Structure 1
Amino acid sequence: MTDGKTEQSARTRQALISAAEELIALHGVSAVSSRQISKAAGQGNNYAVGHHFGSKDDLIRATLDRHNATIDRMRQKALDAIGPDPEVRDWIRCLVCPEIEYVGGLGAPTYFARFFANVSSDPATTILLYEKMGESKPLLAILEGLYGALPEFPGPVLEIRNNMTRHIIVNILADIERAADSGDRPVTPWQHQCSIVVDALTGMWLAPVTPTTATENHP
């Protein structure tokens, strides 16, 4: 009996995760309630999210975890393959390509990348992403390598280029997923998409800093 309840609970949790992922991908974080997620997951109990996860934030964490384990393995594989004297481009490839490869391999329909983009853009849940980033040893190793390979930048320049990198990666992933889901146009192979993004981000990070940007103090 206990095993049966455990299996049923696991199935319910997965149903809630899938429902949350799709609804938040399509409508955004703030527009989706725990009750709506419970209903979409086929649960008669409107408080199923609270019962199985504790809160909507905890459900979002669980949804991220479902994908992050595989992405981390792909990040580690990219790290293991990096050469003995990696340059900025090599680190950016380690940062970008595992995520693009993962989303490209999910097939359609899938909602993870759009879910991720909406969680990233909502001020109330962005902190959840940073929590998960801090738990990823391969990601932290990649970022440490990237920052070590970069030229020295003034603080504001580093902050803005960091934000630009995050926005580019998150929104490109969502665009890839959206294009695959719509079927309106041929989907570019993930390897080619990866090269395009790596080229763009490498150019951005290695772009010169104008003297005024380096010396001005902005309020």
Structure 2
Amino acid sequence: MSAPSEGARSTLLVTAKRLFAERGLDGVSLREIIREAGIKHATAIQYHFGDRDGLIAAILASHEARVDTRREAMLDNYEANATPSARDIAAIMVRPLARELEDQDGRYFLRIYSQVIQHPDGMFVDTGTSIWRWRRHADEVLPPGAAELHTRYSALTFTTVELARRATERPHADDQLFVSRIIDVVSAIVEAPLSPETERLYSERHQRQLLDAKDTTA
């Protein structure tokens, strides 16, 4: 039996992207993907991608490269021209991803990407190289303690959930207002101060961690 062709690889990617977007990452079996793609080789996914995670990583890869390119350009401009601004930081998070709303392929990606970010197994922690550069700049505008409380992750999660929701709808003629509003909310997430209650709970947790560390080394 001959090995699955590169054409089969492309067909599998297209089919898996649609099925994962429509039915969820855990709602589709590899056997279903192969059957839906019309591939005769039962081990085609293993041959080209290794396993399910390899298949999902391959789906994300080409889109993440596009998103990274856009975000890196915005970061270059930010570093050259801007003083720290929460809304600018929010825009650098949102706009590169929002461009994926422009075609069906991108909308499938957004629906999958949101699932990946929220997956309970923590799959694919590396969501693109530009996000780590973005995190460094986000720290400049975060209130004290906010970074340790995963504010940046909250901003990313809100962004991906809202874009994925938009991606399930029929294409809109203009997404500018929608995207601008997401940026507003992400900016508010980034700038949100810690309340007295949160500060107290954060301090108490920190003290417990210090005591636990002391007990461990004693």
Task: Give me the TM-score of the superposition, normalised by structure 1.
Answer: 0.81
Correspondence 1:145 to 2:154: no
Residue ranges of structure 1 left out of the alignment (5+ in a row):
182-186
- Counterpart of 2:74 (choices 75, 78, 100) is 78
- Counterpart of 1:203 (choices 181, 185, 188) is 188
3-state DSSP of counterpart to 2:168: helix
Residue ranges of structure 2 left out of the alignment (5+ in a row):
209-218
Alignment RMSD: 2.4
Correspondences of 1:1-219 after superposition (within 5 Å): 9-82=5-78, 83-101=81-99, 103-107=100-104, 110-124=107-121, 126-128=122-124, 130-133=125-128, 136=129, 138-153=130-145, 158-159=149-150, 161-180=151-170, 187=172, 189-216=174-201, 217=204
Preserved contact between residue 113 and residue 173 of structure 1 (Cα < 8 Å): yes
- Aligned mates of 1:74, 1:200 — CA distance in 2: 21
- Aligned mates of 2:186, 2:119 — CA distance in 1: 24
Write the letter of the residue equivalent to 2:12: L
- Aligned mates of 1:95, 1:112 — CA distance in 2: 16
Q: Percent identity?
A: 25
Task: Give me the TM-score of the superposition, normalised by structure 2.
Answer: 0.82
Alignment length (residue pairs): 201
Structure showing greater radius of gyration is 2
Runs of 4+ residues deviating >6 angstroms: none
- Aligned mates of 1:109, 1:140 — CA distance in 2: 22
3-state DSSP of counterpart to 1:167: helix
